[in-house]
Amino acid sequence: MSGFGPFNGVDDNPTSRLMEELEDYLKKNALPDSISGRVDVRSCTIYEVSAVGALTQFSELLQLYKIDPNEEVVFIHFGVHGKADCFNLEKQAFNEANFSCPDEQGWTPQSHPIHPRNPDITHILTTTLPLEDILEDVGKKYPAKISFDAGRFLCNYLYYQSLHMSQINGTKSVFIHVPPFQVIDQPTQLAFARELLITIASKILK
């Protein structure tokens, strides 16, 4: 699971705090017995809000946690959407980096392909998780919807890279845009993250 650090005036990124507290939260609020012994949250990573930094951290994670073909591996990414009024379950990512402000290393790409071997910036990668089924479950408790546009900043950049890697190594990936804590408070967002984890596990574990 992952979130992002500060960027462009957002000094206190809510997804940083979610990742900082999620492991302790899951210890205090254990997963249901039906999946508790079968689910392992291996990392709560906070990515730098830069293309180079985030991709480097993501690549290091892949090296650190070797992918076991006998395991179901899911990357659950979180990012903040300042104008969101609910949880946005992102269906897809575009092969386009079009930053409205510099990232944390000063890069400001304009209509730039994310994948170096694919110049088509309209190319889309889609999550293989059953997002509609997941929404049906989590939507009973939390305000949520499916989104088809993750923007063109770092959230979309990381999501496209993650989905591309999923095609190669057989993992799964999903991105969730969360609103600021002023819209949905931190305790509710932590509870949502736990519920999302339970729901995804219940959908893919045989």
The number of domains in the chain is 1
HSE-CB at 132 with a 13 A cutoff on CA atoms is 0
Query: Using CA atoms, how far apart are residues 157 and 198, in angstroms rounded to an integer?
Result: 26
Is position 111 within any domain? no
Residue 151: predicted pLDDT: 98
Residue 120 in domain: no
108-165 pLDDT, tens digit per residue, is: 999 999 998 999 999 999 999 999 999 999 999 999 999 999 999 999 999 999 999 9
Among candidate residues 194, 159, 192, the one with its CA nearest the CA of residue 75 = 159
Q: Which domain CATH number covers 17?
A: 3.40.630.20
Q: Which band of pLDDT confidence, cut at 50, 70 and 90, is reported for residue 66? A: confident
Asked whether the predicted pLDDT for residue 36 surpasses 90, the reply is no
Q: Is residue 22 part of a domain?
A: yes
